[in-house]
Amino acid sequence: MRGKQAPVKDIEGDVKYNDKNVAKLINYIMKDGKKSVARKIIYEAFDVIKKETKQDPRHIFNKAMKKVSPLVEVRGKRVGGANYQVPFQVRGRRRFLLGCRWIIENAKKRSDYTMAEKLAKEILDASQGEGAAVKKREEVYKQAEANKAFAHFAK
């Protein structure tokens, strides 16, 4: 590793729910610094979730994140001229990042009218253990299982 590791910035909760995870999701959705647009998308998606489930949307979002966030992932490691896919345990922040990234990525691929509706449906599907984001997690887990033989290279 070259140089110092970047310091971890602690972010404040979002405007409406005062929740750090929702604030992070807003930051992941944001493009070109347009935070107000990202907030609008998230809050509309949460309104859709609230209307459909009659529950707190943060509860549904956290449930979805638990079902989507990976526990293990594979990383390439070069040992003696050969590259191996070595399974590593995923740390907390990266787990949340990957879960959000997969939900957003698969929401964009959906065919609905607005991004808020796409995101709401993907979060709802993920909270029920369905949807493309959950499939992505299962694929990553299968990859790690298949390469379990190389786990001794992990340090």
pLDDT tens per residue, range 74-101? 888 888 888 888 888 999 899 999 999 9
- Looking at 49-63, 100-114, 139-153, which range is the least confident one? 139-153
pLDDT in tens, 116-133: 999 999 999 999 999 999
- State residue 1's pLDDT score: 66
Average pLDDT, the chain: 92
Taking 80 as the threshold, does the pLDDT of residue 29 lie above it?
Answer: yes
Angstrom CA distances, 46 to 14, 40, 54, 147, stand at 13, 10, 11, 38
CB 127 within 8 A of CB 66: no
Angstrom CA distances, 77 to 3, 72, 85, 119, 141, stand at 21, 15, 6, 35, 18
CB 106 within 8 A of CB 133: yes
Kindly report the CATH number that applies to the domain delimited by 20-153. 1.10.455.10
Higher confidence at residue 154 or residue 67? 67
- Residue 46 binned pLDDT confidence (cut-offs 50, 70, 90): very high
